[in-house]
Structure 1
Amino acid sequence: MLNTEKILEFDKIKNKLSEFAYTEKAKLEIKNLAPYLSELEVRKKLRETTEARTMIEKCGNPPATALQGIESMIEIAGKGGCLTPEQLEIVASTLTSVRRLKDYLNRCKMYEIGLAYYEENLESLDDIYEELSAKIRGGRVDDYASKTLKSLREAIDKTDAKMHEKADAAIRANKSYVSDNFSTMRNGHICIPVKKEYKFKVSGSVLDKSSTGSTLFIEPASVGKLYDELQELRIDEENEEIKILYTLTGMLSDKEEIIRRNNQTVEKLDFIFAKAKLSLEYDGIKPEINTGRYIRLKNARHPLMDRKINVPLNFEIGGRLVDEQEVRGVIITGPNTGGKTVAIKTVALNCMMAQCGLHTACEEADICMNNAILCDIGDGQNLSENLSTFSAHIRNVMDILKQAGRESLVIMDELGSGTDPAEGMGIAVAILEELRKSGALFLVTTHYPEVKDYAGKTPGIINARMTFDKESLRPLYQMVIGEAGESCAFYIAEKLGMPKYMLENAARAAYGKDMLRSGEEQKLEKAPQPKIQRKKSVRKQTDALKFQVGDSVMVMPDRKIGIVCQTANEKGVLRIQMRDKKIWMNHKRVKLHVPADQLYPEDYDFSIIFDSVEKRKAEHDMSRKYTDQTIMMEE
């Protein structure tokens, strides 16, 4: 199977795209990203990328949100489990990120960007955030999470202090029996070091001894009594902490659906903004999409190449008529290192990126939908090519020919290479003829002069060449469509000192005999092809035009009365002033109650109805004097 992504280096584009994403869900979506076959889906994805880029340019980068396994935590909460303080802190951090993202989207609404209205799908859950922030700090339940917990921890601290005091007192009372003047901890108990021979002189429990056995570590009886009290207090403290953690987890469980919806929105926006950041990285543009089987690229670049050395490419295929025939195939010829491979990769990669909802690295682009982008690109400059290389090449070509159809784009590099030149030329022509019959758009590079002749006389195919500076012997990496190129081998050899008689021998050997063999035509068994889903044309909503500003209308099915304050847009949606708010409503759900001309005199000022007193006063002030007031325009 052909690995088109790897051949075109689209896998590297996806790796760069993944670097701009924060959430694991977005990274997974990027990993599985492939060309969409629905025209409507492609247009939607491109619009999202464009809107996200506009938002970044106007409002800066959105706040990063990683979510850090929040999905599994909410699942635990939903099943009645108990989250740890560390997990609850992560939830609180996520809620902070959601609130910041919500604020960011709200700021972007002023630019009337559709993507900004995802803000309405986010709920910051401020009440839960306040509870979490107040009761969980530094990865533990805070002292002030409850009065009981505060009291217990104070009692623990006092008991612990008393234990140290009792231990110090025991040391002073048994000064002649101890080996050191300070207490120590053994297995969580406070002990004093007593010389072995005096173990019966000190009341308490032996818990440990020194490595030599000369010193015993004894917990004094007075300390042991307090230790038991301390353990009871710590059990009570743990129970109180668990009670608080269960309460906080229960609050999250009650909002499980909201948190999941927040996560889904954040992950979706993360993927969209990653595409926008990638577009900014290589200065991409939104391409036009068509189903008319033509491609137009103006100053196209390979997005992975350094712009300082990447020469822009102008390219077109399909739709163009030559001798009243539509051009569906371009044959590129020219010298080695002339940029032919880079040129065809640039075309195919930009087409694939566009159909994946990514911006293209072009000044302008109009790209058709393709049900498959099929590529056979190898190293045409490998001097050690042999039969195995040719076999792999032919195997790829046969796979391509089986899949190629009228809605496919085929890219082939060094067609017919890797074998005897005469036979390779014949195979190249046979492949081109099969591609022509398939109806696919195809872009092919070759060195064979006979292939140039074939393209020049075959309807639907046109030659193109990569330019070359004959004075400096350097390629210019520019494509000229409509002209056949030269390999320039003889010219370069002559410039570098090859004698004329050798050049004449070379010419006779190269062009003196035609090795093209004709064979019986065979039909190729075609593989099933996926179909492109074209978007449905939107019918103009002419019925909506009957509603005018000021019309009294009835909103169905509630039969509530309102006044039209904004006429219908291209989708047939009106804006209506209700008793306490303005709403958008499709004209099909609105019934005319009383026309405006029966309610209001001619040239009536509707701002009296639709605008607030403050707004009308501010407009009046601005019309007659300078004022620093601001009028907020409604959507």
Structure 2
Amino acid sequence: MNHKITKTLEFARVKGMLARYLVSTAGHHELEHMAPQGDYDRVQHYLTETTDGADILRLEGGIPIPKLADIQPQMKRLKIGANLNGTELAQVAKVLQTSMSVRNFFEQMREKKIELRVLDQLVDQLVTIPSITQRLVRSVDPDGRLNDEASTKLHGIRQLIVKTEGEIHQQMEHYTRGKGAKYLSEPVVTIRNDRYVVPALARYRNKLGGVVHDQSASGQTLYIEPAGVVEYNNRLRQAQIEERQEMLRILAELSALIAPYRHDIQNNERVLGKLDFINAKAALAHDMKASLPVLSRENHVNLRHARHPLIDPHKVVPNDIKIGDDYQAIVITGPNTGGKTITLKTFGLIQLMGQSGLFIPAEEESTIGVFDNIFADIGDEQSLEQNLSTFSGHMDNVKAILEQITNRSLVLLDELGAGTDPKEGAALAMAILDQIGSKGSTVVITTHYPELKAYGYDRAKTINASMEFDQATLQPTYRLLLGIPGRSNGIEIAQRLGIDSAVIDEARSLVSDDSQDLNQMIGDLVAQRKAAREESERLSKLVAKNERTQKELDEKLSRFNEQRDKLFDQARSQANHQVSMAKRKANSIIHHLRQLEVQQGANVKENQLIDAQGALNALHQEDPRLKHNSVLKRAKAKHDLHVGDAVLVKSYGQYGELLDKRGNHKWEVQIGILKMEVDEQDLEKVAKKSLPKEKTPQHSSAVHTTQTRHTSARLDLRGHRYEQAMSELSDFIDHALLNNLSSVTIIHGKGTGALRKGTQQYLQSNPRVKSFGYAAPNNGGDGATIVNL
């Protein structure tokens, strides 16, 4: 990837955001080498690493890596046989200690059945040296100071030093607190030339005796080592020399101990730096609310709600950007300040991030391409040193781009053709786009030239786009509108700013009618697009809400089914237990009867048989709750049918009397003078005394019918399909007969005549129809038929 594109799109600022999450020098080295890649498999691998890091951050809070210093200089010194100091050994020990803790961390993740994709193989490269690590940790403090436990001799020497210093302070108290204190400028003990001394007044030098080691600037104070302390100071000095020699020996021993493992330690540092870098990528994605992009081998890009990563997330306007499938080129037109350049940079920067293995600031399932190179000409390329104008600078860039692009390149051009005569600039821009298109590159350009609107409409694989403006306020909304060219709002803005109306009218008269009509059309398209987007957002929220509700209902239903199955199992178990007990008791009763029969022959007494039958009957148990359930009682009574019962035939809404049982579930029912066979599910028992007089079943020849629904004497079949109309006609005639209607009207309309013909054929075939004919001219004519029943 060329370095100019990373500078133009400010990719370094994204790397700066990532640097804040790094804790190791090796991690910073990884960041320095991070760059967009043009190889599909490599980009996929880097994204998979970031996905593993994001999973670990979500499940475990991240990989536990502390702040680690750069140990490469130490490893180089070990290579030439040099010894490391305490601080350097502490830094090496921290790397080894972290290697062990990271391996243990990933082992615990394996025990938790947390599956990763690629990081397990990376962690397996860590080499742990437990014995040497423990020796270093025991011997060296994190700040580089050697511990007393580094060796037995060092421990003994330091105990002697502490003891000697205590004795020196005891001796010094005779001078700082005793009679000799009056000879001191201050009653304190201090150190000069690594020996304990007291500050004495110069005029009392002979009063104290001992050795003078220093004096003040004024010469009034002498720093004297009293004679009584000289021997203690000598002993302390000897112990300090022995301590320094032992420390040097220990440092040399520890350096020699780790020297054979310097390659493993260097590799550990590299692996930990890589893990630190992956940690940082995951943390940045979390804080940026970025998502894993889907890679397209065909370079089909579909960014959903893409956001510029360097703009305040509370102010940035997300946009959908789609290219590569239906079209290879996008021409974004429209006035300045609408956000064209930012949209261009957003697309380019998101591609750089994705091809560097970073999650992108867009919604999930967004797709990016893997371009072999990305080129951009954005901003003012004027150069005073090279004596290039703005136009010349842009053309110089475009020339270099045209020489390098392939069918897998992405080209971003801002204000293509600007800086020269509009006619020539537009023509040049179209020619450049044709050249880029001939090489198969993906290209997005921004321009002011209206001629390119027609170009975007006419050229294959090319689409127009613009930035949305609020029609009411003429302010930009910074939303990208694909498929709609930009309109000019210059005259409207001038009018809103208070320019004289005469000037505005003159300007409008100079603009062609075609341009005004085009602007009006674009304005209508923008308004429609905005309304459609708002409706889509509303529906998306509604769908999301319904999905959450459906998920809750599914969970509740699942819990209900589990509880129901559990209760069924419990009930089945209890029922089986009760059946088992009942069988056992029944067998006992039968056995007792057989014994009686054997003992007494055929003379089993009647009261014994009655007692046995009672015992058997007692085995049947009913649920006491059902026994007193009034609802069940009423439902059961309605279906306890017997010959002679008054019933309601529910499907006809008619009352009748049961005459006879036909089969298991059929009854013969008398309804007026009619007798019919009805399924018992269609019958409902009613009380005879509660029936209205006219509804009481009669055996006389008179037939009394009850209107089951409000039946009109008019049926309108207009607008109905033929089969539906014939079915409604048949039902209508039946209900008319049941309701004793002598004449009805069928409205079938004129139309094609199909309904009219079908109506007449049905009426001719029905024996209950006495006659029929067309209605009077003032009542519908041949569009309606009067039927006499």
Give the structure-2-normalised TM-score.
Answer: 0.57
**Inter-partner Cα distance in structure 1 for 2:409 and 2:282:** 28
Provide the secondary structure at the position in 2 that maps to 1:140.
coil
Amino acid at match of 1:129: T
Partners of 2:334 and 2:448 within 8 A in 1: yes
Could you say which residue in structure 1 is the equivalent of 2:241? Answer: 235
Partners of 1:372 and 1:407 within 8 A in 2: yes
Of 116, 121, 125, the residue aligned with 2:129 is 125
Is 1:187 matched up with 2:193?
A: yes
Mark the CA change 1:212 to 1:17 in structure 2 (over 3 Å): closer, same or farther: closer
Mark the CA change 1:404 to 1:165 in structure 2 (over 3 Å): closer, same or farther: closer
Of 111, 114, 121, the residue aligned with 1:111 is 114
Mark the CA change 1:114 to 1:168 in structure 2 (over 3 Å): closer, same or farther: same
Q: Which structure 1 segments of 5+ residues have no match?
A: 321-326, 381-385, 513-623, 625-635
**Inter-partner Cα distance in structure 1 for 2:461 and 2:343:** 21
- What are the superposed Cα offsets for residues 299-324 of structure 1, whole Å, 9 maximum, x if unpaired? 2222223344333322222231xxxx
Amino acid at match of 1:148: K
- What are the superposed Cα offsets for residues 318-353 of structure 1, whole Å, 9 maximum, x if unpaired? 231xxxxxx321211233322222222222222222
**Inter-partner Cα distance in structure 2 for 1:244 and 1:342:** 61
Of 477, 496, 502, the residue aligned with 2:506 is 502
Amino acid at match of 2:334: G
Of 225-234 and 346-355, more deviation after overlay is shown by 225-234
Mark the CA change 1:358 to 1:147 in structure 2 (over 3 Å): closer, same or farther: closer
The 5 Å alignment of 1:88-237 reads 88-109=89-110, 110-117=113-120, 118-137=122-141, 139-163=144-168, 185-191=191-197, 204-208=210-214, 219-221=225-227, 223-237=229-243
**Inter-partner Cα distance in structure 2 for 1:253 and 1:236:** 26
Amino acid at match of 1:301: R
**Inter-partner Cα distance in structure 2 for 1:468 and 1:195:** 88
**Inter-partner Cα distance in structure 2 for 1:135 and 1:239:** 16
Could you say which residue in structure 2 is the equivalent of 1:292? Answer: 298
**Inter-partner Cα distance in structure 1 for 2:152 and 2:478:** 77
State the Cα distance separating 1:411 from its structure 2 match.
Answer: 0.8
Mark the CA change 1:200 to 1:371 in structure 2 (over 3 Å): closer, same or farther: closer
The 5 Å alignment of 1:390-405 reads 390-405=391-406
State the Cα distance separating 1:53 from its structure 2 match.
Answer: 0.8
Mark the CA change 1:242 to 1:458 in structure 2 (over 3 Å): closer, same or farther: same
Is 1:279 matched up with 2:314?
A: no
Partners of 2:48 and 2:118 within 8 A in 1: no
Partners of 1:178 and 1:192 within 8 A in 2: no
- The count of corresponding residues between Structure 1 and Structure 2 is 502
- What are the superposed Cα offsets for residues 395-425 of structure 1, whole Å, 9 maximum, x if unpaired? 2222222222222111111222223322322
**Inter-partner Cα distance in structure 2 for 1:11 and 1:485:** 32
Could you say which residue in structure 2 is the equivalent of 1:612? Answer: none
Amino acid at match of 1:269: L
State the Cα distance separating 1:16 from its structure 2 match.
Answer: 0.9
**Inter-partner Cα distance in structure 2 for 1:176 and 1:476:** 85
Does 1 or 2 have the higher relative contact order (CA < 8 Å, sep 6+)? 1
**Inter-partner Cα distance in structure 1 for 2:284 and 2:275:** 14
Could you say which residue in structure 2 is the equivalent of 1:367? Answer: 368
Mark the CA change 1:467 to 1:50 in structure 2 (over 3 Å): closer, same or farther: same
Partners of 1:193 and 1:217 within 8 A in 2: yes
- What are the superposed Cα offsets for residues 96-151 of structure 1, whole Å, 9 maximum, x if unpaired? 43333333323433221124413323344333333233333464322343332232
Partners of 2:154 and 2:243 within 8 A in 1: yes
Provide the secondary structure at the position in 2 that maps to 1:405.
coil
Of 402-411 and 241-250, more deviation after overlay is shown by 241-250
Mark the CA change 1:198 to 1:177 in structure 2 (over 3 Å): closer, same or farther: farther
Provide the secondary structure at the position in 1 that maps to 2:415.
coil
Could you say which residue in structure 1 is the equivalent of 2:263? Answer: 257
Provide the secondary structure at the position in 1 that maps to 2:433.
helix
- What are the superposed Cα offsets for residues 139-194 of structure 1, whole Å, 9 maximum, x if unpaired? 43223433322322233334444445566679999969956787764433345677
The 5 Å alignment of 1:244-393 reads 244-320=250-326, 327-363=327-363, 364-378=365-379, 388-393=389-394
CA-based RMSD of the aligned residues comes to 3.6
Partners of 1:333 and 1:487 within 8 A in 2: no
**Inter-partner Cα distance in structure 2 for 1:188 and 1:251:** 33
Mark the CA change 1:493 to 1:73 in structure 2 (over 3 Å): closer, same or farther: same
Provide the secondary structure at the position in 2 that maps to 1:111.
coil
Is 1:487 matched up with 2:493?
A: no
The 5 Å alignment of 1:494-533 reads 498-499=501-502, 501-507=505-511
**Inter-partner Cα distance in structure 1 for 2:203 and 2:192:** 20
**Inter-partner Cα distance in structure 2 for 1:3 and 1:509:** 44
Could you say which residue in structure 2 is the equivalent of 1:616? Answer: none
**Inter-partner Cα distance in structure 2 for 1:215 and 1:337:** 77
Provide the secondary structure at the position in 2 that maps to 1:68.
coil
Could you say which residue in structure 2 is the equivalent of 1:408? Answer: 409
Could you say which residue in structure 2 is the equivalent of 1:426? Answer: 427
**Inter-partner Cα distance in structure 1 for 2:416 and 2:219:** 89
Mark the CA change 1:214 to 1:409 in structure 2 (over 3 Å): closer, same or farther: closer
Could you say which residue in structure 2 is the equivalent of 1:74? Answer: 75
- What are the superposed Cα offsets for residues 253-275 of structure 1, whole Å, 9 maximum, x if unpaired? 24323322221110111222222
- What are the superposed Cα offsets for residues 39-79 of structure 1, whole Å, 9 maximum, x if unpaired? 11111111111121111111112223332122323333444
Is 1:63 matched up with 2:68?
A: no
- What are the superposed Cα offsets for residues 178-228 of structure 1, whole Å, 9 maximum, x if unpaired? 567877644333456778788778764444456666776554555434433
**Inter-partner Cα distance in structure 1 for 2:351 and 2:35:** 12
Mark the CA change 1:251 to 1:421 in structure 2 (over 3 Å): closer, same or farther: same
Is 1:38 matched up with 2:43?
A: no
Amino acid at match of 2:309: P
Q: Which structure 2 segments of 5+ residues have no match?
A: 382-386, 517-568, 570-789
Could you say which residue in structure 1 is the equivalent of 2:534? Answer: none
Amino acid at match of 2:129: L
Provide the secondary structure at the position in 1 that maps to 2:488.
coil
Structure ID, larger Rg? 2
The 5 Å alignment of 1:530-545 reads none
Of 309-318 and 208-217, more deviation after overlay is shown by 208-217
Partners of 2:38 and 2:373 within 8 A in 1: no
Q: Percent identity?
A: 33
Provide the secondary structure at the position in 2 that maps to 1:338.
coil
Amino acid at match of 1:128: I
Partners of 2:48 and 2:117 within 8 A in 1: no
Mark the CA change 1:493 to 1:260 in structure 2 (over 3 Å): closer, same or farther: same
- What are the superposed Cα offsets for residues 272-298 of structure 1, whole Å, 9 maximum, x if unpaired? 222222221222222222332432222
Amino acid at match of 1:425: A
Partners of 2:65 and 2:272 within 8 A in 1: no
Amino acid at match of 1:27: H
Provide the secondary structure at the position in 2 that maps to 1:465.
strand
Partners of 1:409 and 1:442 within 8 A in 2: yes
Could you say which residue in structure 2 is the equivalent of 1:603? Answer: none
